[in-house]
């Protein structure tokens, strides 16, 4: 269980409570929803990031390993296309 899971749940409850007050016009920005997505993403990725860090890996390493494992025979060009990155970006991984 996440150490700050209860505070994340509290934030999510307060943010979702305000969803009924969403803007009527698409031109208005719903900051409560944007913040809810930010906190959800941060909390969702915190534990996997810690695990990857134990191996000296980051998210980019994880994506490369995942797709190379799932698609045997994947060429570098195909990997670049799947990840939508450049050779220069891949070289940093």
Q: What is the pLDDT of residues 26-84, one digit of tens each?
A: 678 899 999 999 999 999 999 999 999 999 999 999 999 999 999 999 999 999 999 99
Total domains in the fold of the chain: 2
Distance between CA atoms of residues 33 and 26, nearest Å: 13
Do 44 and 16 lie in a common domain? yes
**Interval 10-41: pLDDT, tens:** 666 666 666 566 656 667 889 999 999 999 99
Same domain, 23 and 63: no
Are 52 and 36 in the same domain?
yes
Same domain, 2 and 41: yes
Q: What domain range includes position 15?
A: 1-56
For residue 10, give both structure tokens.
């509290």
31-54 vs 5-17: helix crossing angle, rounded to 10: 160
| Distant-in-sequence, close-in-space partners of 17: CB < 8 Å, separation ≥ 6 | none
The predicted model scores a pTM of: 0.59
Calpha distance 93→89 (Å, rounded):
7
Residues 12 and 46 in one domain: yes
Are 32 and 3 contained in the same domain? yes
Tell me: pLDDT of 4 over 90: no
């Amino acid at each position: 269980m996440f150490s700050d899971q209860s505070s994340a749940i509290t934030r999510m409850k307060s943010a979702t409570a305000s969803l009924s007050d969403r803007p009527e016009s698409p031109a208005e920005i719903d900051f409560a929803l944007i913040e809810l997505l930010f906190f959800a993403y941060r909390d969702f990725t915190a534990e996997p990031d810690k695990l990857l860090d134990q191996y000296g890996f980051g998210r980019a390493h994880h994506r490369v390993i995942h797709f190379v494992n799932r698609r045997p025979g994947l060429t570098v060009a195909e990997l670049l296309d799947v990840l939508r990155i450049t050779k220069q970006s891949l070289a940093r991984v």
